[in-house]
Chain A
Amino acid sequence: MARNFFFSQATATAPAEREASGEEQLVERACSGDGEAFNEIYRMFAPLVHGIVLARVPYDDVKDIVQEVFLAAYKNLDGLRDKNAVGAWLAKIARNHAAEYYRKARPTEELSEDLSGKHNPKAEAVEIMRTIRSMPETYRETLVLRLIEGMTGNEIAERTGLTPESVRVNLHRGMDQLRQKLGIEGVKR
């Protein structure tokens, strides 16, 4: 485990540095009006933004907010100081837009009994999603990116700007809490 931890750290920094210069170039090109460069940024970071918004906002509204986040990012691209930290910057914008969503006080709909039945896989997914949303922010964001968006711990660290250690801690503590809340008996360590 210790060997894997250090190995994972080493593998986390190398791609990060490699992609950092690519990110910077993309941002420079996008700033100069290259729409294709911005589309590339969108393709790279859309799952991250989607996961961060999904951890806070109902699924039906997530797509719209993701588009709004990228449009806002495009308008304010000149204000990005560290052009190697696009992911962290986009994550911040996404969190702000998700908070703005609740400030607008949109009406919410409750699930019907049919959907909330335990034998309906989609209903079970909704229930798990609701449980994840009830968890602390740091855990739910990491869990959504890992379990729903399918990112590895390294990818989460690279995209969000967090350290791999923080991501690892958040993943394990969040997973433990999720198991407790869902009543799943975990594997004894």
Chain B
Amino acid sequence: MSEDYLWDKTGKDQEIERLENLLSVFRYQQTDPPILPTTEVVPVAEKAPRFRFSFAFAFAGAMAAVLIGFGLFWLIPREREVAVVGPQPPVATVKVPIANAPVSPEQPAQSVSSVSKNDTIRPSFIKHPVPVAFKQRNVVAKAGQKKVRFEDLTQEEKYAYGQLMLALSITSSKLQAVRQTIDQIENDKTSDKPNFR
């Protein structure tokens, strides 16, 4: 066996040449290159950054929404302000029963300062007394905020306010009746309860 011929085809080796000739049927025959998927070739440097959904972004968005919600919650005043008639200092604290208000447009509006918590206001067509048991609370009137007098309300607004007060009175009476019924039932139960001792 010629090692030179086996290595770089120099010299002569009949046996290897014979093998080469026999095996040449398997030799690579030049073919066309494969058809390349040209649409898939995108240079790496020219790739545009794509937005990808990630849980980090979602979490950050949720946290931002919560913070905005809390901010709005604290910014919006939570106490309804009541008009204070007459010249007042910039910040004044007055005790006002919330339920005191005229119930119908026909009924004259009472001044805020003249209403006490024991006054009962009801429409003329309600015959039975309507209990009014509202708590008083301190209402702070801040300076620089819009003050609305009851006299300045339009006729429709006054009527709506009266209807609202009427509805509240009726609801309150209904609740009182329910409460009394419940109390009576409970009293009956306790009195009928047998003593096992």
Using CB atoms and an 8 Å cutoff, list the residues of chain A in contact with chain B: 1, 4, 8, 31-33, 35, 38-39, 42-43, 46-47, 50-51, 54, 59, 63, 67, 70-71, 74-75, 78, 121-122, 124-125, 128-129, 146-150, 152-154, 168, 171-172, 175, 179, 184, 186-187, 189
Contact = CB atoms under 8 A, between A and B. Distances in A.
Interface in B31-81: 31, 33-34, 36-38, 40-44
A129 B19 CA distance: 10
Given A124-B22, A125-B26, A175 B38 contact: no
Contacts of B151: none
Contact of A51 (B15, B28, B40): B28
Give the 3 A-B residue pairs with the shortest CB-CB distance, closest first. A50-B28, A42-B33, A33-B41
Contact of A74 (B8, B13, B25, B36): B36
B23 interface: yes
Nearest to A176: B1
15 contacts: A31-B43, A31-B44, A39-B33, A47-B28, A54-B26, A63-B31, A71-B37, A124-B22, A147-B19, A148-B24, A150-B27, A171-B6, A172-B6, A175-B16, A186-B15
A168 B41 contact: no
Contacts, number: 93
Given A31-B43, A129-B23, A187-B2, 9 more contacts: A31-B44, A38-B36, A46-B31, A63-B31, A71-B36, A129-B26, A148-B23, A179-B1, A184-B15
Nearest to B41: A33
A125 B23 contact: yes
B186 interface: no
Contacts of B27: 148-150
Contact of B33 (A33, A70, A125): A70
Contact of B7 (A38, A51, A171, A186): A171
Nearest to A50: B28
B157 interface: no
B34 A67 contact: yes
A189 B6 CA distance: 14
B33 to A, nearest CB: 4
B28 A46 contact: yes
A152 B19 contact: no
A78 B44 contact: yes
A175 B1 contact: yes
B119 interface: no
A74 B42 CA distance: 12
